[in-house]
Structure 1
Amino acid sequence: MTTQPLPQLQRRFLTDAGLETDLIFNHGIDLPYFSSITLLQSGAGRDALISYYRGFLGLAARRQVGFILESATWRASPDWAKPLGMSEEELAELVRKAITMLVDLKRDYVGRVPALVVSGCVGPRGDGYDPGAIMSADAAAAYHARQIGWMSRAGCEMITAITMTNVPEALGVVTAARDEGLPVAISFTLETDGKLPTGQNLGDAIAAVDAATGSYPAYYMVNCAHPVHFFAALDEAATKVGDRVRGIRANASRCSHAELDAMTELDRGDPAELAQLHREMLDRHPAINVLGGCCGTDLEHVSAIAEACLTG
């Protein structure tokens, strides 16, 4: 299978925000195990997802900027079937529905949004903040190949691995995506010190994945950290790997991962400040083309980021 160059490498794109935290805290929707794939089990859940995406698609249409439709599959890899009370076959069917829903939305917005990409979202096998027992790259490839295969057959156009905590798991995702002939973006999460949860520097992690895969990833991203935590990490990475970081999905909160885990109320941070920090980030790293949000962010945050970063 051959792939076309991803349009977000040529121009600025938006993507969505903190889907799970938005639905849980702002809309009162229960998501067991932080898994938004469960919404596809009911008509009301599907409607909530569609409404969520349409808000961002409307923003992209008004701004006349490309948009990446990221699937609600971050916590939908095979190990999560049992905790969610379903068989792997049932989970696979929900993943298929998550992708086909985005394919349909893309069709609806062709002509209104300049460019649209359907991305299959892959999350870590375990906890999004703690690398835990790190798999080998081969084991990670075998594990993630199942979910990536489900999404590929449903029609996704790329894979985005969100909240990767360690290099071997990222390598596995890259291998599985390459075997499906799909482009892939790898997004690492960083702690308050700007390093991966394993203690590795961002630039070193990117260099290691590129060295092992012939630089197969289309680009890299950072997510689930506040910009003040990773400004220096971006500068350091640029000296080692150039412009390989092309996307940012930042948290609204300045809190650490441990503090966020313990919270019972949402910390939305300051949308205007977050937007200004993104503007400063782009001034220093103009190759960053994909802008969205992560935990605590919603349409207001991404709208503010768009206002700050797409004007002038």
Structure 2
Amino acid sequence: MKYRNSLPQLNGTQMVADGGLETTLVFHDGIDLPLFAAFKALESQEGIDAIGRYMRGFARLAVKHNRGFIMDTPTWRASPRWAAELGVDRDQLREVHREVIATLVKMRAEHETPASPFVVNGVIGPHSDGYAPTEIMSASEAEAYHQTQVGWFAEMGADMVSAITMTYVDEAIGIVRAAQSVNIPVVISFTVETDGRLPSGQGLRSAIEQVDRATGSTAAYFMINCAHPDHFRSVLEQGGEWTKRIMGVRANASRLSHAELDEAEELDDGNPKEFGELHQELTQFLPNLTVIGGCCGTDHRHVEHVCIATQQPTAKAV
């Protein structure tokens, strides 16, 4: 089924996203990812098998808990700038996008149920570093840059696109405008530092409100990712209408800062049970929270505990 014109999470359906794909591939599967580019794993059968195993695990988890599944493409690092650094030309990059969408469409056909709708989500990453950007784009520059990936996702059958780990507002605005131009739903997911502010220093509320003002509130919703719940809970506790625009959270397992994670040589996967319980607390501050997954350091265990802790009355017993 295709959901572009009626995303189930916008109608209140509880959805799961996956966890930390890149950290799972590197630390659990022992697969080298140059520049943290998960799509490079698709160049070997070992990598193809690992990603397939990983995604099928989340598909089964979603069905088990009567939740939908947002199926992310492994393309966070598959934009032109990063591809060029990896020696991947435009034609090869386009084929990567075609193949990953076709794979997810097939997986959806194999696992989706009426109670668990599956959504194919084209993932876009930042043009610069996802923790400390060194190159800042204007909104118009970002729109032009990200138009390539956004256009491919719209053309090749993705239901939506999500810009993950956004560090500053102008790039987010450009991505929303690029998605508007091809009429595909778009989600903006900001990351925050341990003080709950974007790496740019801007407050989360201010960032969300600025994107909405500049784009006519046309982003489907906003998310927070790549930060531990402790890093942004106090910001959400302040409340306000703006919190209704946040419909998704994909948190890190670790309480370490971005700088500390960058230097870490071992995986900090935290406490999966506590991770779930912290998300139950977040539901008190995010009235429209319908999408929950994980980011760095998380895997199926963490997301399962989130499902258990935030279980709806109609969900299957575990």
Task: Mark yes or no: TM-score above 0.5.
Answer: yes
How many residues get paired? Answer: 310
Q: Distance in 1 between matches of 2:27 and 2:114?
A: 30
Aligned to 1:294: 295
Deviation sequence 1:3-53 (CA, Å, 0-9, x none): 513111222110100000011001111111100111222333222211110
Q: Tell me if structure 2 keeps the 8 A contact 1:3–1:181.
A: no
Instruction: Report SS of the residue matched to 1:126.
Output: coil
Whole-angstrom distance in 1 between the partners of 2:83 and 2:258: 25
Residue of structure 1 in register with 2:272 after alignment: 271
**Does structure 2 retain, via aligned residues, the 8 Å contact 1:99–1:155?**
yes
Task: Name the SS for the 2:248 alignment partner.
Answer: strand
- Give unmatched runs, 5+ long, in structure 1: none
Q: Distance in 1 between matches of 2:187 and 2:47?
A: 28
- Per-residue CA deviation, residues 239-282 of structure 1 (Å, 9 max, x unaligned), is 15240001000000000000000000000011111111100111
Could you say which residue in structure 1 is the equivalent of 2:43?
41
Q: Report matched runs for 1:4-153 at 5 Å.
A: 4-9=5-10, 10-111=12-113, 114-153=116-155
1:282 to 2:302 alignment = no
1:81 partner SS: helix
1:217 to 203, 216, 219: 219
Which amino acid in 2 is paired with 1:167? V
State the Cα distance separating 1:286 from its structure 2 match. Answer: 3.0
Q: Decide whether aligned partners of structure 1 residues 82 and 3 sit closer, same or farther in structure 2, where only a CA change above 3 A counts.
A: closer
CA 1:60/1:113 → structure 2, altered by over 3 Å: closer, same or farther? farther
CA displacement 1:94-132 (0-9 Å, x = unmatched) = 122111111111111233762111000000011010132
CA deviations over 1:121-144 (Å, ceiling 9, x no partner): 000011010132210000000000
Q: Unaligned 5+ residue runs, structure 2?
A: 314-318
Counterpart code for 1:208: Q
- Map of 2:179 onto structure 1: 177
Structure 1 stretch displaced more, 90-99 or 205-214: 90-99
Cα distance in 2 for residues equivalent to 1:180 and 1:47: 33
CA contact under 8 A between 2:150 and 2:178: conserved in structure 1?
A: yes
Spell out, residue by residue over 1:154-212, the C-alpha distance to the aligned partner (whole angstroms, 9 max, x if none).
Answer: 21010011000000000111011111110011000000000000110101000000001
Q: Alignment RMSD, CA only?
A: 1.4
TM-score, length of structure 1 as denominator length: 0.96
